[in-house]
């Protein structure tokens, strides 16, 4: 623990629970960092098996949370996020087994070389140390994040929402027992049981006690974390995603992609927010896209030129776009549409309003595809495919803890490797510097 | 620029000079990010040539700073750091030419694959965007950092010490002209001319305006940056470096390494601070090390057991170590010495007092070398060589902007590649997500 954390502890700035659990996690992180892949996978297999064996206990604990939340007037959408049933518990076990199948990033050596003076050097991948996760009503995040942290050799401090406290405490207990059963320190997984909201604020400034904090949940949570963190955090999850349809795009393909990007799962960060359409493509494309979206009652906020092309009797609700629609993340069945006269205008619009998450071009021009890939500054830049592909599982990373829109450390989907650091190892036989 | 920077600008929280220069740097960063290696090298060659051609102007500008600082009572050590003469200017030009010779990291594609659905994906290395450097009396940092930023495609905002303002302004002018001569935007290099110290504080919270800030200078500066930054910064440069001499180490080699690590350049972060010696090796080793150090009048702060072995009439000043000597970065010809009874005790001491910079073991035991490499958590872990090798140039990275003791993003020496991020590129032919 650094001087900062020690000082803060002494002055009572941090809750006792946080300090004692963070210290226990730090201590446990050392043996965990050196655990073999087999040991870590054994712990994960025990988690999966326990989830299945103790499904009834988990569902019963969750029922308490659910009843309390219902009595409290929680909305149906949030209640659904909170709910665990036997099927969902089986799904969690399956996700843990999928993590077992992922390659272990720890210990990998890269940039290996022997210098002219005989020093043998490389960078060796190591865990970050202690990772904290702050999340809200979805209790499955407990298992999801714990499994990724264990596999990447990191200790984890979990802090779920108070509305899911019985569920998360039960799940965290399963993780701790599984670690112990596998011969690893149970203290490598900690759950904060106090529901005092001040603890989240303390975690965000717990320099030296937490190496990386991952927020999972609403925009409000993520913005709170971004605005108050003094320790490294993953700030991502906010995606204002544009799809630009170029002059000569394949209309049928473009309609299918625009439909998929908007409708397949509208509540997530990589869903389409704004469709930019080249004026040459717009007369054919726009009515077709709007007709496709109309099947799912997508609401369209269109600029004046798009409005004229869509016509006076659209098959779905179409209203005039206002300035606030550009750069807005809808997270719902709503899309903004704008007609542009060139790829340059599209690139400028994206540079001004994009959030650096995912931007796509649909084009048959190699030159424009190349320009778009070169010039757009975003975590993911896509040619002729749906923006929904910016996802750890889709890109072959396995599970992801978050999608980063930072440029430092990791950008885009963060899988196991993105939860690691490296150290330089330098082996000599007596070299001194001249 | 993000909402934060815009808001702060509107409320007058940031100086006009900072805002206008940061905006100009951001704009220039886009074409610079796409500049070819040839264009960037041409700009560097122009910088090197101009430094040589305009050596007299530079030395004259520096003479003004030097005279003012002298009149102000600046110490000789600082005056020497401030001084530029013809030889030093030639050295700066040579360093720029060395940067030309380094490989360009930008555009490199890695983790290339084709997914089962036909999507071709990879990560492509891109610049971070706008890098700021805050430094003190050494005017050469202006050229050093500017050259590394240009080569890595990043715009740079330079903020030197007020005592070097004439020197740094002249040097920054050369950089800006060279960029323009090479067909690149001169605004990609900015120098803050106001000597108001408040600007440094503003830079540290300029979210969205500066992508990474690098402090170069004293401990005080680096700590100020670490404690006040809201934007990403490199916090490194503080090295409490241990060298542990194992029971069976080669005594002659150990003496040579301990001498080199302490004496070759005592004022830098990778110099030896504490020598830990196994009790079996200590009787032979300690008198020999102290005799070697005595040639350079190294002051020794020894624990009780070491004191007894060094004997009552040491050839250099030896005093009893106090608790504060452990974990202290001396940055001078002083070393702490402690006798330990096992590698475990050495590892514990390092875990408690190390700063995560560089730790070394001198041993003939493969088993202990492996344990040390595995168990020590530091940016660089060294076997049988001097701690002074933790250095970008020594490790083959070329020049370095700093040595990071962070675990996120980059650890250890930061060269060109560590000034980059990446973006995912995803190329399809109509894929949608199911």
What is the per-residue pLDDT across A178-230, written as a single tens digit (0 to 9) for each? 999 999 999 999 999 999 989 999 999 998 899 999 998 888 898 899 888 88
The number of C-beta contacts closer than 8 angstroms across A and B is 196
* Mean pLDDT (whole number) for B54-60: 98
The residues near A38 (Cβ < 8 Å, ≥ 6 apart) are none
Tell me the DSSP string of B335-350.
EEEEEESSHHHHHHHH
Residues 250-279, chain B: which have Cβ within 8 Å of A?
250, 253, 256-257, 259-261, 264
Q: Look-up: residue for tokens 């470096």?
A: B241
Q: Distance (Å, rounded) from C-alpha B140 to C-alpha B146?
A: 10
Residue B137 reports pLDDT greater than 90: no
Give the 3-state secondary structure of residue A394: coil
Report the pLDDT value the prediction gives residue A56, as an integer from 0 to 100: 98
Report the pLDDT value the prediction gives residue B13, as an integer from 0 to 100: 84
Report the pLDDT value the prediction gives residue A238, as an integer from 0 to 100: 83
Q: Distance (Å, rounded) from C-alpha B139 to C-alpha B158?
A: 11
* Mean pLDDT (whole number) for B247-276: 96
The structure tokens listed for B363 are: 């041993």
CA distance B160 to chain A (A): 24
Q: Distance (Å, rounded) from C-alpha B214 to C-alpha B211?
A: 10
Largest interatomic CA distance in chain B? 83
Pairing of strands A130-135, A212-216: parallel
Report the pLDDT value the prediction gives residue A236, as an integer from 0 to 100: 74
Residue B276 reports pLDDT greater than 60: yes
CB contact under 8 A, A383 and B426: yes
Q: Distance (Å, rounded) from C-alpha B84 to C-alpha B71?
A: 17
* Mean pLDDT (whole number) for A255-259: 98
B3 touches chain A (CB under 8 A): no
Residue B223 reports pLDDT greater than 90: no
Cα dihedral B91, B93, B94, B95, rounded to 10, equals: 90
CA distance A405 to chain B (A): 10
Report the pLDDT value the prediction gives residue A12, as an integer from 0 to 100: 59
Which residue in A has a C-alpha nearest to residue B270's C-alpha?
A433
CB contact under 8 A, A377 and B126: yes
**Of A361, A379, A333, residue with least CA distance to A276:** A361
Mean pLDDT of chain A: 94
* Mean pLDDT (whole number) for A152-176: 97
* Mean pLDDT (whole number) for A46-68: 98
Q: Look-up: residue for tokens 């070697």?
A: B292
Percent of chain B with pLDDT over 70: 97
Contacts of A7 in chain B (CB under 8 A): none
Report the pLDDT value the prediction gives residue A218, as an integer from 0 to 100: 82
Q: Distance (Å, rounded) from C-alpha A430 to C-alpha A411?
A: 40
pLDDT band at B218 (very low <50, low <70, confident <90, very high): confident
Residue B7 reports pLDDT greater than 90: no
B76 touches chain A (CB under 8 A): no
- Interval B90-107: pLDDT, tens: 999 999 999 999 999 999
Residue A10 reports pLDDT greater than 60: no
Q: Label residue A364 left, alpha or beta by phi (over 0 means left) and psi (-120 to 50 means alpha).
A: alpha
Report the pLDDT value the prediction gives residue B376, as an integer from 0 to 100: 97
* Most confident of the ranges A6-15, A54-63, A218-227: A54-63
Residue A353 reports pLDDT greater than 80: yes
B409 touches chain A (CB under 8 A): yes
Q: Among A216-225, B87-96, B251-260, B286-295, whose mean pLDDT is lowest?
A: A216-225
A352 touches chain B (CB under 8 A): no
* Mean pLDDT (whole number) for B164-188: 98
B430 touches chain A (CB under 8 A): yes
CB contact under 8 A, A430 and B380: no
Q: Distance (Å, rounded) from C-alpha B286 to C-alpha B298?
A: 13
Which residue in A has a C-alpha nearest to residue B257's C-alpha?
A432
A394 touches chain B (CB under 8 A): yes
- Interval B318-366: pLDDT, tens: 999 999 999 999 999 999 999 999 999 999 999 999 999 999 999 999 9
Residue A8 reports pLDDT greater than 60: no
CB contact under 8 A, B389 and A423: no
B109: phi then psi, degrees, rounded to nearest 5:
-110, 135
Burial of A88 per CB tally in 10 Å (0-12, 13-18, 19+): middle
Residue A235 reports pLDDT greater than 80: no
Which residue in B has a C-alpha nearest to residue A234's C-alpha?
B408
Report the pLDDT value the prediction gives residue A5, as an integer from 0 to 100: 46
B242: phi then psi, degrees, rounded to nearest 5:
-100, 145
CB contact under 8 A, A426 and B389: yes
- Interval A270-293: pLDDT, tens: 999 999 999 999 999 999 999 999
Which among B408, B430, B433 is the nearest to A409, CB-wise? B408
Report the pLDDT value the prediction gives residue B2, as an integer from 0 to 100: 44
- Interval A400-418: pLDDT, tens: 888 999 899 999 999 999 9
Cα dihedral A56, A62, A63, A64, rounded to 10, equals: 120
Report the pLDDT value the prediction gives residue B12, as an integer from 0 to 100: 59
């Amino acid at each position: 623990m650094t001087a900062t954390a020690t000082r803060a502890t002494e002055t009572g700035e941090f809750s006792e629970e946080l300090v004692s659990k963070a210290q226990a996690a730090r201590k446990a992180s050392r043996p965990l960092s050196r655990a073999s892949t087999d040991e870590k996978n054994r712990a994960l297999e025990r988690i999966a098996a326990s989830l299945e064996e103790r499904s009834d206990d988990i569902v019963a604990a969750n029922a308490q949370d659910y009843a309390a939340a219902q009595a409290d007037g929680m909305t149906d959408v949030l209640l659904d996020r909170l709910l665990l049933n036997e099927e969902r518990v089986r799904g969690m076990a399956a996700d843990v087994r999928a993590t077992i199948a992922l390659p272990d990033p720890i210990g990998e050596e890269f940039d290996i070389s022997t210098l002219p003076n005989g020093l043998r050097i490389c960078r060796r991948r190591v865990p970050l140390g202690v990772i904290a996760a702050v999340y809200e009503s979805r209790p499955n995040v407990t298992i999801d994040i714990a499994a990724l942290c264990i596999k990447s050799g990191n200790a984890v401090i979990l802090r779920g929402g108070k509305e899911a406290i019985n569920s998360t405490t039960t799940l965290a207990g399963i993780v701790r027992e599984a670690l112990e059963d596998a011969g690893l320190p149970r203290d490598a997984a900690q759950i904060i049981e106090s529901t005092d909201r001040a603890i989240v604020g303390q975690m965000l400034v717990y320099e030296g006690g937490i190496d990386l904090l991952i927020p999972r949940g609403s925009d409000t949570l993520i913005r709170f974390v971004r605005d108050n963190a003094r320790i490294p955090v993953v700030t991502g999850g906010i995606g204002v995603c544009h799809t630009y349809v170029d002059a000569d795009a394949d209309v049928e393909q473009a309609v299918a992609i625009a439909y998929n990007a908007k409708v397949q799962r509208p509540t997530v960060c990589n869903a389409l927010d704004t469709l930019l359409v080249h004026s040459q493509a717009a007369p054919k494309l726009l009515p077709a896209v709007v007709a496709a979206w109309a099947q799912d009652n997508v609401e369209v906020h269109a600029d004046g030129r798009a409005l004229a092309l869509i016509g006076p009797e659209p098959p779905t609700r179409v209203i005039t776009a206002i300035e606030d629609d550009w750069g807005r993340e809808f997270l719902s069945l709503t899309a903004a549409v704008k007609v542009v006269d060139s790829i340059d205008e599209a690139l400028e619009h994206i540079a001004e309003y994009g959030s650096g998450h995912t931007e796509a071009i649909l084009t048959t021009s190699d030159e424009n595809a190349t320009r778009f890939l070169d010039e757009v500054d975003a975590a993911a830049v896509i040619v002729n495919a749906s923006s929904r592909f910016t996802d750890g599982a889709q890109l072959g990373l396995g599970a992801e803890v978050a999608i980063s829109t930072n440029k430092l450390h990791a950008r885009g989907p963060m899988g196991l490797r993105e939860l690691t650091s490296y150290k330089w190892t330098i082996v000599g036989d007596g070299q001194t510097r001249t």
